[in-house]
A and B are shown apart, each in its own frame.
Chain A
Amino acid sequence: MRRFLFPLAIFLVLAGFLAVGLRLNPREVPSPLIGKPVPAFRLAQLHASDKSISPEDMRGKVWLLNVWASWCVSCKQEHPVLIDLNRQNRIPIVGLNYKDERGAAITWLNQHGGDPYAVSAFDADGRVGIDFGVYGVPETFLIDKAGTIRYKHIGPVTEEALKSKILPLAEELSRG
């Protein structure tokens, strides 16, 4: 009986490691930008190419930066959630329209229920996206009043992610 104990112990340890490993999402790479100042940029606005937008303009507010594109399939999934969030008027959402075409992006917004963004920055070649460490769209950053990145959500924003993590943290940051 005792000689089975050792292999059994090894098996249990291995099974434990695999159980944890299988639950991890390999696409969720922790961002080194959490706790760092938001990368500086000044980009043309999506809807008005003669106007610009910069994180500086958002100083003093707690805000979300949502990276999106008309070619991004899972952006469709989060779009209604963002529209709903915008309606609640709880936190301003700034869009970063990533590697897109102006016409396609605006058409996409019109076709998918409207524009949830206070303003969208137009990052045609994706250079600003690289500064944010963007590797898969959509990605969403929570930025505090001082312009520090506090949280990053990878993949489509869900009601649950908003309720359990993003909005409570945003409220805490607004009070502080």
Chain B
Amino acid sequence: MADLLLLAMRKSALALRRFLVLAFSTFILAPAFAAEGGAAQPLGDPVVEARVNRLAEELRCLTCMGQSIADSQSSFSSDMKREIRGMIVAGKSDKEIIDFMVQRYGDFVLYRPPVKSTTWLLWGGPFLLLVIALAFLAVKLRKRSAQAGSELSESEHRQAASLLGKSEGDGK
């Protein structure tokens, strides 16, 4: 009976290991190989491609929320990369390319939106929260230290002394 149980356990452990190896190779290794395959495509001038990638990382893919154009494989992103590449080849500066995108898609396309009247809360919000939290903490701490440092009154001293004396007396 115990042997059978052991055998079953070993079998399931084997199955688990096989599953893990399979999962590892499909989810970790395969994308890595896929990425290698992607990079192996002829892309032309590596200097241009490096600039395309750097700019694409600054731009949001509008069809696939939360991904940059560099990370995304969507057709929107490949169009954008094509436009960026075209503008780089045409000798446009990084600023001109970013401005081109903002004119068409708005500040939302930027991962680092500019500080202006509509975005100050976005940039300042976290610091504002920090200041509020620090102020709250300061008030709390002051209150606590005020309580701890308060002097005992004459009668409280006497009461404390008598209590201490009593306990000492008990100890003897």
Contact = CB atoms under 8 A, between A and B. Distances in A.
A108 interface: no
A30 B83 CA distance: 22
A133 B101 CA distance: 8
B88 interface: no
A131 B80 CA distance: 11
B105 A133 contact: yes
Contacts of A130: 79-80, 83, 104
B108 A131 contact: no
B90 interface: no
Contacts of B79: 126, 130
B63 A31 contact: no
B63 A133 contact: no
Contacts of A131: 104
A132 B104 contact: yes
A114 B106 CA distance: 35
A99 B63 CA distance: 15
A37 to B, nearest CB: 12
Nearest to B66: A26
Interface string B53-77: 0000000001101000000000110
B106 A29 contact: yes
Q: How large is the interface on B (under 10, 10 to 19, 20 to 34, 35 or more residues)?
A: 10 to 19
Nearest to B108: A29
A29 B104 contact: no
Interface of B: 62-63, 65, 75-76, 79-80, 83, 102-108
A106 to B, nearest CB: 22
B65 A29 contact: no
23 contacts: A26-B65, A29-B62, A29-B105, A29-B108, A30-B106, A30-B108, A31-B106, A32-B103, A32-B106, A32-B107, A99-B75, A126-B79, A130-B79, A130-B83, A130-B104, A131-B104, A132-B104, A133-B105, A135-B62, A135-B63, A135-B76, A135-B105, A136-B62
Closest 7 CB pairs of A and B: A135-B62, A133-B104, A32-B106, A29-B108, A133-B105, A135-B63, A135-B76
B62 A32 contact: no
Contacts of B65: 26-27
B102 A32 contact: yes
Interface in A8-44: 26-27, 29-33
For A32, A33, A126, A135, which residue has the most chain B Cβ atoms within 10 angstroms? Answer: A135
A99 B83 CA distance: 15
B81 to A, nearest CB: 12
Interface string A119-142: 000000010001111011000000
Nearest to A132: B104
For B63, B65, B104, B107, which residue has the most chain A Cβ atoms within 10 angstroms? Answer: B104
Contacts of B83: 130
B63 A32 contact: no
Nearest to B76: A135
